[in-house]
Every structure is written in C-alpha cells, then in structure tokens.
Amino acid sequence: MNTIAAVSTPAGAGGIGIIRVSGKDARAIADAVFVCRGREKGRGAANALTSSPMTMIFGDFVAEDFRDRGYAVFFPADRAYTGEDTVEFYLHGGVRIMRGALEECLKKGARAAERGEFTRRAFLAGRMDLADAEGVADMINAESAAGLRAAYRLMDGSVSRRINLIADRLLSVMTGLEAVLDYPEETEDEVLPPLEGSVREALADTRALLATAKSGRMAKHGITAVLTGKPNAGKSSLFNALLGDDRAIVTPVAGTTRDTVEGSVECDGVRINFVDTAGLRDSSDAVESEGIARARKAAAHADVVLRVVDTVSEGRGGGEYEDYDAPVFTVLNKCDLTSYACPRRAGWFAVSAKEGIGVPELRRAIASLMGEGLTQGGELITSERHISALYRAKNALEAALRGINDTPDCILVCLREAYDALGEITGSTATQAVVDSVFEKFCVGK
C-alpha cells in the first residue's frame, strides 16, 4: 500500500498539532522534511529516527515557505498502530502550520489519508479486529464516563473475546458434524451426544450479550428522561434545576412551553438527556395542541418518564395520568410549599425545583437505571450492528435446537449461519461492504 498522511489533531488552532505519515516511504519523507538539531548539514533525520525508535527527536520541520520547531517520532512497523512504518510530527498547532506541513508531506510522495484509513490499515495488518476498531471510534466520540468505559472494553478486545468463545464452541460442533457427514458409521455415537448441550451453551451466551444491549445503548447515548405533567406543574423549573442551567423559559402563564426543549448532564458517570415538554391538557390552540402531541411522542420513546405533579394544586397523587411503556417516576414538585410527606413508594420523589430539594437524589435515581454494576465494568453491546448480528446468531441457534433431531446437514446449516453472524462482528466473516461502513464513520487522521 502507498504512504498516507493526515493531520491527526482536531481542526483549528491549538498548542500542538500532529501530522501522521504511515507507509513504506514514511522514513524517506521524514528525511526530506525534518532537520534534526545538530545535523543541519547532513540532515540525517531518517537515521536519527530509526536509531532511536519510539523516541521524540527535536528539530525543525522545513516546508517550502516556512519552518517550525518541534519533534518527530518513528514507529517501526512491528510496533506501530498501523502495522507499517509510521512517523509523527509534533508541531505548533496553528491552522496554517498544519496545512503547510501536510502539503509538504504530500509533495514528498504521500497521499492524503481517507476517513479511518490508519485504523483500517491496523485492521488489515491484524493489529485489531473489526469490533476493536469500532471501539476506537466510540472512544473518540464518547460523551460520558460510562460511554468511555464501554468503548474501552470494546477497543481492548473484551467484547471480541466473548464473541470468539461462542464462535469457537460452534466451530468445534460444526467440525464434529462434518465428521459425521463424512464418516457416519464411525463417528455418530462420539459426536452427537454433546451436540445439544454445546448449542444451548452458545445460545445462553448469545442471549446474555444481547441482554446488555439496553444498558449499552444508555452507556453510549445516555438515558432519555422526559418530563411530563399538567401545565404549571413546574416541569420547566425542574428541567432547569436538573441541568443546573436556565435552558427552558419559566413563567406563571400556563402553556408557556410549546415545543420540546432538550439538555444533557452527566451524573455518576452516566449521561442523562432531559426533555422538557408542553403541559398535557385539552386545548383548542393549534400550536399548543401540536406541542402536546410532541410531548406524547417524546414520552413514547423515553427510557424513563418523569411525571411531574404540582402538590399545591394537584395533591400528592396528581389525579389520573397517562400510561407509558417506559418506567415512570412520580415527582412531587413544590414540596417546600406543602406539608405533604412523600409516600414511601419505589419511583416516588419529593422535590422543590425552586429550592433544589431532592434534585440530586432524582438525578442519581435516573442514572441508576443503566444497571447495577454496569457503569463500572463488564462487556456491553453498544452497536446496532452488533445487536443485529447477535439476533441473527440467536435465531439460527434456536432453529438448530428446534431441529436437533434432524439430519446433521440441516443442523449444520443453522450453525454455520450463527457462526457467520458472530464473525461479522469481529470481521472474520464480514463482507467488504460491512468493513467499508465501519470505517466511513471515522474521522480523517485516525
């Protein structure tokens, strides 16, 4: 493959900018653009970098129309991220410096890297599998500590190892079944007895991974908490208090909120996406009615609904309320203005949005919905692509169990389908289109 180069730091001015060059000509390009201090006459950057790999070498980056002082590091192929010779230049992070330095590397023989091409080369070189690569992208895009932990478990191969254990078990069964097909008289009694148990174990492990998908989605994207209730229940005031910021307009006029307002905060390492909505009531106002319709739609897609009750005007129960598929927290607002005691029920909270009473406890209760212990460790399935593949594997394994008394070739078809679905996650059986779709989501320079 030819040599590629890209700016690996974010666009815009910064204290440090990094130019990454990877490929067979990386050292030659370094020799052409970098002057090690004390070697002005003979340059010799390539020799200096090669003799001290993984070490920052001080010097000047020399472009056609400017120079910059910085460092260069050489990573030999066997120790490089991409699995091929790589040189990185650490320069001042000015926009013009980065653009000029990259142009100079391109003039010396490199070509501009495509999205995710450095990581793609690491995948092709066997430095990581496809799921590990997705973990790299998730690490870059994570917005909470829980998201970072889940991404790291994916990037370091923990998820892939669990997938491979299931796949290896299936491969062993498939090998035995193929032996039965080739030598039915000699091997049937030896191979078939453990067949059902092995398939059931593989199915149980697959289902266990799928069971983490909801928590995985929450870790990656956050918990969506939608505030609903009657007008003037104090939803917008509570929304602002939960965020610690005045995002929603608050007035004594009923029906002030006409559209959904969103904001996010991190609590106990978990991102919570709060959605403030219009008050629920019968209305002849076309704009307010549309806002109410949007409120119901938001609640229908929530991970938890906060049913806000004005304890002053509505009492502790708040009267009749709508049913939702998501868990419902009943939030008795304005508790500072009444003598009501909050009922000792799971999912009931007494708060004062104005005074901040009970707000931290409510936030922590929402964050805990991600699952006990799941914020600290353990493999989580966070990718829709992985969920789809696991469901296909699960369905194929269930089909294999239903046909456990069928002929070996029928069972083998189901097991191969499950094996291929699992391999699509790690990349061992993934098509080129699947691989392309993964790396299209990367930024340039990674």
The reply to whether 407 sits in an annotated binding site is no
- Residue 232 annotated as binding site: yes
Question: Residue 252, annotated ligand binder?
Answer: yes
- Residue 394 labeled ligand binder: no
- The residues, any chain, with a CB within 8 Å of residue 214's CB and separated by 6 or more, are none
CB 229 within 8 A of CB 308: yes
416 is an annotated ligand-binding site residue: no
Instruction: Say if residue 264 carries a ligand binding annotation.
Output: no
- Read off φ and ψ for residue 435, nearest 5 degrees: -60, -45
Contacts with 125 (C-beta within 8 Å, 6 or more apart), sequence order:
82, 83, 84
Confirm or deny that 295 is annotated as ligand binding. Answer: no
Q: In 115-135, which positions are buried (b, 16+ CB within 10 angstroms) versus exposed (e)?
A: bbbbbbbbbeeebbbbbbbbb
Bridge partners of residue 266, in order along the sequence: 271
Looking at this protein, which amino acid is placed at residue 47?
Answer: N
Alpha carbon distance 178, 416 (integer Å): 11
* 441 is an annotated ligand-binding site residue: no
Evaluate whether 129 touches 427 at the Cβ level (below 8 Å): yes
Do 429 and 439 form a contact (C-beta atoms < 8 A)?
A: no
Tokens of 169: 């078990």
Is 277 annotated in a binding site? The answer is: yes
113 in a labelled binding site: no
88 annotated ligand binder: yes
Q: Three-state SS across 361-420?
A: HHHHHHHHHHCCCCCCCCCCCCCHHHHHHHHHHHHHHHHHHHCCCCCHHHHHHHHHHHHH
How far is 266 from 439, CA to CA, in rounded Å?
Answer: 29
Is 160 known to sit in a ligand binding site? no
Which residues are paired to 274 by β-bridges?
225, 263
How far apart CA 42 and CA 40 sit, in angstroms, is 6
Residue type, 129: D
Whether residue 377 is annotated as binding a ligand: the answer is no
Residue 215 marked in a binding site: no
127 known ligand binder: yes
Q: Is 256 annotated as a binding residue?
A: yes
- Is residue 39 part of an annotated ligand binding site? no
The response to whether 234 counts as a known ligand-binding position is yes
Residue 212 in marked binding region: no
The answer to whether 363 is annotated as binding is no
197 is in an annotated binding site: no
In a 3-state reduction of DSSP, which class is residue 350?
Answer: strand
Q: How many CB atoms lie within 10 A of CB 441?
A: 13
DSSP 113-179: --BTHHHHHHHHTTSS-HHHHHHHHHHHH--SHHHHHHHHHHHTTHHHHHHHHHHHHHHHHHHHHHH
Structure tokens at 293: 């319709």
Which residues are part of a known binding site for (6S)-5-formyl-5,6,7,8-tetrahydrofolate?
A: 20, 88, 127, 446
Which residues are part of a known binding site for GTP?
A: 232-237, 251-257, 276-279
Which residues are part of a known binding site for Mg(2+)?
A: 236, 257
Which residues are part of a known binding site for K(+)?
A: 232, 251, 253, 256
Which residues are part of a known binding site?
A: 20, 88, 127, 232-237, 251-257, 276-279, 446
